[in-house]
Each structure stands twice: as structure tokens, then as C-alpha cells.
Amino acid sequence: MKKTQEYLEESLIKPKTLAEVRAMIVAHKRNDFIFASIGLFTIIFALLTLLILFIDLVMDGYPKINYQFFTDFPSRRAANAGILSAWVGSALVMLVTFLTAVPMGVASGVYLEEYAPKNWFTDIIEINVTNLAGVPSIIYGLLALGLFVYTLHLGTSIVTAGLTLGLLMLPIVIVSTREAIRSIPVAIREAAYAVGATKWQVVLHHVIQYAFGGILTGIIIGMARALGETAPVITIGALTFIAFLPPAPLINEAPFISFEWLQSGFTVLPIQMFSWLSRPEHVFHINAAAAGAVIIMLTLVMNGTAIWLRYRIRKNIKW
């Protein structure tokens, strides 16, 4: 005991007596507890704030959400207005987005992970993908306005919106494809090569198959983001009053499939919400809340599926 006391007195540590050391330990433990409480409180506070906001939105929109809301066109009279053209438009735009982003995204992910040589050129493509993921969505809108609308003369149509959102979604698909592929052990590829498979056979029969879950996760997250994006779609000039449906993709005469809908004018869910929100009358704000509740539900379900899927994959696969 005495030695400790002497040691403490000689040392450079500030507390000079045992009592002081004890006091210091108590103080430090108190700090620990205080910070843990602050941390827990902060997280609960942040999550509660968001929860209150969502509940407020759903409460506002709840009386409006019924069967009619999904089958009515937008209207000048708030009570009659619905989201028929908006959800049909969203579905068709998402279809084009899916067809644009998924093949290209998966292909570039596969190339960057499996084929690309390690050199400056690959580095540039990589940095470029990272940067694209961080480019504000409205810049994609400007790109689409300059390129698709005025250079390629596609007009403000479903195909323009689909392509724009497809480009926006591309980096998300690329990054998730790469991450999924990277987690597959080299041994799997070596085993396939050993029995005489070519590179493409290895990729197609093994790599893509095993990475499928991870790729799907990225696709769902990307689609959810594209579904909720508003700014780029507004920038291409899509905020107009649309009370009609695009021509049906399936027709009665041969060849039974029509692509006329690609060139049709359209509206999407977030745009419909924005248009109701920017009106001064309060009745339209209730419609906006209802549309918002629908969008939130859709994106939460999609993202939830993706996260659940990822969790399942992590849990089940042990290489």
C-alpha cells in the first residue's frame, strides 16, 4: 500500500493519493454512463422525430386512401382527384428504368470485378462510378434535358424519364454487383477452370449465380430510389396535368405488342405529390399526404425486402 502511494507521488500522473485515484475512477465511470445515456437519447430522439413525421403524414392522408384514390385521375376538384395516371406512369417508367440499368449495371460490375486489368484505365472507371453515385440527381435531369429531350428529340416521354432514372440507378447496381461478386471465394472459380470452363462459363454458371442475391439487393434499392426521385423528372418538364393513360402495351391486332406508350406523356407518383403540395389550398395537401403515404409504403417495402434479403444471404452463406 505504501509503495503504491510512493509510486503515485513520484509519477507524472496527476492524482497523487489513492483517494484521488478512486475519485478519478468514479468520475471516469460517470463520464462513461453520461455518454452512453446521451448516445441512447440522441438515437431515440432522431428516430422518434422521423417516426412522428411519418405518423403525421399518414394521419393527414389516411382519410383519402381508399379504392377510389387509386382509380381516379387527377382533377381540379381535390375530392375527386386520384393517382391512377401517376401509379401507371410510375410502373411504366420503372419498367424502362429496369431494362436500362440492370443489364448495363450487372455487365459493368462483372467486367470491373472479373475481367478488367489492374491499370490506370480501370482506376478511372472506378473513380468515375463512385463520383456518379454522388452526383446530385438534378444534374441527371439537366443531362436528360440537354441530351434526350433536345439532342435525341425523345420529348418529355416515358422513355426519356425511364432512361434518365436508369442512368441514375446505374452506379447503385454496379457497386452492389461488384460487392456481391467480390465476396465469392477464388476457389470456386479455380474449381470451374479446373474442369475446363471458359471465363464466361465461370461467370455465367457460377459467379453470377452465387452473387445473385447481392445483385438483387442492389437492384431493389436502386429501383426504390428511382421510384422516389422527383427532381430529374421535373427537370425534363414532366410537371403537367395528365388525365389520361398511356396507350396499352398489349393490343388486339398483330403483332399484339405496341411500343407507342414509350412516347406518351406521363406523370409519376412523386411528381403528382409535388404538384398537389405546391397548390395553396389545404384540401390538396391532404391528397399530397395520401400520395406521400403510398410512396413511403412502396419504398419502405422495397428497401425492407432488400435489407432482409441481404441479412438472409449473410446468414446462410458460409464459404
Contact 143, 231 (CB under 8 A): no
C-alpha dist (Å) from residue 233 to 139, 151, 158, 202: 11, 17, 10, 39
Q: Does 117 bind other proteins (CB under 8 A)?
A: no
Q: Does 305 bind other proteins (CB under 8 A)?
A: no
Binders of other proteins among residues 191 to 230 (CB under 8 A) are 198-200, 221, 224-225, 227-230
Q: Does 99 bind other proteins (CB under 8 A)?
A: no
Q: Of 259, 270, 164, 264, whose CA–CA distance to 227 is shortest?
A: 270
Residue linked to cell 462510378: 129
76 by DSSP, 3-state: which? coil
63 vs 103, beta carbon nearer other proteins: 103
232 prior amide bond cis, ω within 30: no
109 vs 261, beta carbon nearer other proteins: 109
Contact 76, 284 (CB under 8 A): no
C-alpha dist (Å) from residue 241 to 76, 203, 285, 313: 10, 47, 17, 44
- Among 12, 120, 134, 186, interactor with other proteins by CB under 8 A: 134
Binders of other proteins among residues 231 to 290 (CB under 8 A) are 231, 234-237, 239, 270, 273-274, 277-278, 285, 288-289
One character per residue 20-59, x = contact with other proteins (rule: CB under 8 A): --------xx-xx--xx-xxx-xx-xxx-xx--x--xx--
- Provide the β-strand partners of residue 257: 250
Q: Does 299 bind other proteins (CB under 8 A)?
A: yes
Q: Does 303 bind other proteins (CB under 8 A)?
A: yes
79 vs 133, beta carbon nearer other proteins: 133
Binders of other proteins among residues 154 to 193 (CB under 8 A) are 167, 170-171, 174
Q: Does 17 bind other proteins (CB under 8 A)?
A: no
